[in-house]
């Protein structure tokens, strides 16, 4: 069923009795060409592009919980392509271009809103670093613009421009950046994949990976054994757990990242804004809630809730940047498990084990990458070679010494 203004109108006349479930709820078949483990954004996008772009439809997505229960439904919804390094920028720009046509492509309203992403700077050194990043973006054909303090005062008058320690000097804006409704992205990709024949199997946890003569042949699950020709892992914060089942040790650590939403307010924050003197980012949802977050909690964990120390830290930074935040009530906080890589960049690659493919290492930034990640992972699985924009995101880069260290922080996953 295609969604359109006309179908909404006609269904309204029929008392909305004609809508069908957005995807089926099939039982697993004994064998698939491709099994994708993980029904998050990346697993579902991979299934969608495998079917749509590469004609591979005998595919199952196995999700241990319900569709979109992981980080895809827990993030702060920021999308952008303001990266500096050649290993990252073309990849994230492909993602941005896919975001720009996504809703028409998968016929679902994902509320993509290109409201602009602004990084504030507070010192001369930071201004130079952002100018360098903006220039690197423009050399890749991506939009970037430096904003003066006066321009910012007009755009975001609620910011603390005269903070005693961190006065705001200006900012770098990517106007095409913004937000998208995270769970609708999962639903849109899931529905699009299902319509093309992909089986989305929820409540189906993979508990073991089967190998014969060193070659992956299938998986053991809570719903029985399922065979496959190719197995693709897209389990984000649980990547090390699933890779372990095949005897593969990954350069990944799992950490919890929290997010926060305030009570609904009248429109005040028109863009996405990040603080330059700490790690704090804020936007406002269409319902009016201020959506914000900061650093990971800093210890390894598979728990989806964080500690109060980080809550206090995030609020301190937020109030330094937006003093008025102290007057709003926070309604909800939650956590997600992040797959932190050693250089802060993702991994999309084949593994040394035959028929086993890997998608992980998304750190804080995997939501914005969802379309390109799905597209490039599908390309890899279908053609057995990396997509040109993902060539530097290979697993063996750590062995070869070609880290893609956007933050320049070294092999310290909790700092990326």
Ligand X SMILES: Cc1cc2nc3c(=O)[nH]c(=O)nc-3n(C[C@H](O)[C@H](O)[C@H](O)COP(=O)(O)OP(=O)(O)OC[C@H]3O[C@@H](n4cnc5c(N)ncnc54)[C@H](O)[C@@H]3O)c2cc1C
Smallest separation, CB 172 to ligand X (Å): 17
| Burial call 2-11: b when 16+ CB within 10 Å, e when fewer | ebeeeeeeee
Residue 235 binding ligand X, by CB under 6 A:
yes
| Rg of the Cα atoms in the chain | 21
Contacts of 129 (CB under 8 A, 6+ apart): 121
Residue 257 binding ligand X, by CB under 6 A:
yes
Residue 47 binding ligand X, by CB under 6 A:
no
Angle between helices 41-54 and 370-383 (to 10 degrees): 50
Instruction: Give CA angle at 325 (319, 328), nearest 5°.
Output: 145
Residue 72 binding ligand X, by CB under 6 A:
yes
> Among candidates 215, 254, 249, 257, which has minimal Cα distance to 398?
249
x-marked contacts with ligand X along 131-170 as a string, rule CB under 6 A: ----------------------------------------
x-marked contacts with ligand X along 379-408 as a string, rule CB under 6 A: ------------------------------
Residue closer to ligand X, measured from CB, 192 or 366: 366
* 345 contacts 71 by C-beta, under 8 angstroms: no
Residue showing the smallest CB distance to ligand X in the complex: 40
Residue 255 binding ligand X, by CB under 6 A:
no
Residue 238 binding ligand X, by CB under 6 A:
yes
Residue 43 binding ligand X, by CB under 6 A:
yes
Residue 236 binding ligand X, by CB under 6 A:
yes
Cα dist from 316 to 35, 232, 274, whole Å: 44, 41, 14
247: left (phi over 0), alpha (psi -120 to 50) or beta: left
Instruction: Write out the DSSP string of 190-237.
Output: HHHHHHTT-EEE-S--EEEEEEETTEEEEEEETTEEEEEEEEEE--GG
Choose one: 143-151, 253-261, 319-327, 376-384; the region binding ligand X (CB under 6 A). 253-261
Choose one: 19-27, 94-102, 115-123, 230-238; the region binding ligand X (CB under 6 A). 230-238
Choose one: 9-17, 102-110, 256-264, 387-395; the region binding ligand X (CB under 6 A). 256-264
Residue closer to ligand X, measured from CB, 88 or 169: 88
Contacts of 31 (CB under 8 A, 6+ apart): 218, 226, 227, 228
Residue 366 binding ligand X, by CB under 6 A:
yes
Residue closer to ligand X, measured from CB, 69 or 114: 69
Residue closer to ligand X, measured from CB, 136 or 236: 236
Choose one: 22-30, 35-43, 120-128, 166-174; the region binding ligand X (CB under 6 A). 35-43
Residue closer to ligand X, measured from CB, 76 or 320: 76
Please name every residue paired with 201 in a beta bridge, in sequence order, or none if there are none.
62
* 113 contacts 179 by C-beta, under 8 angstroms: yes
> Among candidates 268, 277, 223, 416, which has minimal Cα distance to 338?
416
The rounded distance, in Å, linking the Cα atoms of 412 and 416 is 7
Among 63, 103, 194, 297, binds ligand X (CB under 6 A): 63
Choose one: 8-16, 236-244, 261-269, 392-400; the region binding ligand X (CB under 6 A). 236-244
The rounded distance, in Å, linking the Cα atoms of 234 and 208 is 15
Residue 96 binding ligand X, by CB under 6 A:
no
* 259 contacts 333 by C-beta, under 8 angstroms: yes
Among 64, 133, 387, 397, binds ligand X (CB under 6 A): 64
The rounded distance, in Å, linking the Cα atoms of 174 and 116 is 6
Query: Which residues ranging from 324 to 353 are in contact with ligand X (CB under 6 A)?
Result: 336, 338
Among 99, 121, 364, 377, binds ligand X (CB under 6 A): 364
Smallest separation, CB 166 to ligand X (Å): 22
> Among candidates 165, 208, 185, which has minimal Cα distance to 42?
185
- The site for ligand X (CB under 6 A) is made up of 37-43, 62-65, 69-72, 74-78, 205-206, 234-238, 242, 257-259, 293, 336, 338, 362, 364-368
């Amino acid at each position: 069923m295609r969604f359109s203004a006309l179908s909404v109108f006609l269904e309204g006349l029929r008392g909305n009795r004609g809508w069908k479930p957005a995807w089926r709820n099939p039982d697993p078949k004994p064998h698939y060409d491709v099994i994708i483990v993980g029904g998050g954004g990346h697993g579902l996008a991979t299934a969608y592009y495998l079917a749509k772009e590469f004609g591979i439809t005998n595919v199952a997505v196995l999700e241990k919980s319900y569709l979109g229960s992981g980080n895809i439904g827990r993030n702060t919804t920021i999308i952008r392509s303001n990266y500096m390094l050649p290993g990252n920028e073309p990849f994230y720009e492909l993602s941005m271009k896919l975001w720009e046509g996504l809703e028409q492509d998968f016929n679902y309203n994902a509320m993509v809103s290109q409201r602009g992403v602004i990084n504030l700077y507070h010192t001369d050194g930071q201004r130079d670093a952002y100018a360098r990043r903006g220039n690197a973006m423009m050399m890749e054909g991506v939009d970037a613009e430096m904003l003066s303090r006066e321009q910012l005062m007009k755009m975001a008058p609620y910011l603390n421009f005269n903070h005693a320690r961190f006065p705001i000097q200006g900012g770098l804006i990517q106007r095409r950046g913004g937000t998208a409704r995270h769970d609708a992205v999962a639903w849109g990709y899931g529905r699009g994949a299902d319509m093309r024949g992909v089986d989305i199997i929820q409540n189906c946890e993979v508990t073991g990976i089967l190998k014969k003569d060193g070659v992956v042949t299938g998986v053991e699950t809570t719903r029985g054994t399922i065979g496959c020709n190719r197995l693709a892992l897209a389990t984000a914060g649980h990547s090390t757990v699933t890779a372990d089942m095949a005897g593969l040790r990954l350069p990944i650590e799992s950490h919890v990242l929290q997010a926060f939403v305030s009570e609904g307010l009248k429109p005040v924050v028109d863009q996405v804004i990040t603080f330059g003197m700490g790690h704090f980012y804020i936007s406002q949802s269409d319902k009016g809630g201020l959506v914000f977050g900061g650093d990971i909690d800093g210890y390894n964990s598979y728990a989806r809730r964080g500690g109060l120390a980080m809550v206090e830290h995030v609020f301190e930074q937020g109030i330094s940047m937006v003093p008025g935040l102290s007057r709003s009530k926070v309604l909800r906080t939650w956590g997600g498990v992040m797959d932190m890589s050693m250089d802060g960049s993702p991994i999309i690659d084949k593994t040394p084990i035959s028929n086993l493919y890997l998608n992980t290492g998304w750190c804080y930034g995997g939501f914005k990458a969802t379309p390109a990640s799905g597209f490039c992972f599908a390309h890899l699985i279908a053609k057995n070679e990396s997509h040109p924009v993902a060539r530097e995101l290979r697993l063996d880069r750590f062995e070869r010494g070609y880290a893609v260290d956007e933050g320049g922080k070294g092999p310290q996953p909790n700092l990326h």
